[in-house]
Amino acid sequence: MLNGENYNARDPELLKMAQEVRYYMDEFNKPGSNPEADKTSILKNLCEFVGDNVWIEKPFFCDYGKNISIGKNTFINFNCVFLDTNKIVIGENVLIAPSVQIYTATHPLKAVERINSNHKANEAPYRTLTKPVTIDDNF
């Protein structure tokens, strides 16, 4: 998956990883206010890397979390979605607007290339692949 090759989106290991990250997203997105220290702790458990002074408004959603790196002094506004089936690297001093959606997942556009008609019971009936996304410092 991280090599940009076709992967099984219904792989049991991937489904388990996605389910486990829901705990951290639920904690982060809980109604009411969480002290900033709690939000930072949750983000550091969720993401591969979170720099100092990162601020993410809730709600925030992602697939796996562990493929996300966020540089220091970055602000991510309300209602953002990061589909991190591959690496999402956000540099330092980045400002991300409300409702931005960053997708690393993609698929062949032609149905004949996308449909996996010979899929097994635990496989997705379509082909999917991923590409990393990088947002440079100061963007």
Query: Can you read off the two tokens belonging to residue 73?
Result: 């002094």
Backbone angles phi, psi at 126, to 5 degrees: -140, 160
Query: Of 107, 108, 115, 124, which one is the catalytic site residue?
Result: 107
Q: How far apart are CA 73 and CA 95, in angstroms?
A: 9
Q: Do the beta carbons of residue 67 and residue 49 sit within 8 Å? A: no
Query: Can you read off the two tokens belonging to residue 75?
Result: 């602000």
Would you call 107 a catalytic residue per the annotation?
yes
Q: Which residues are catalytic?
A: 107
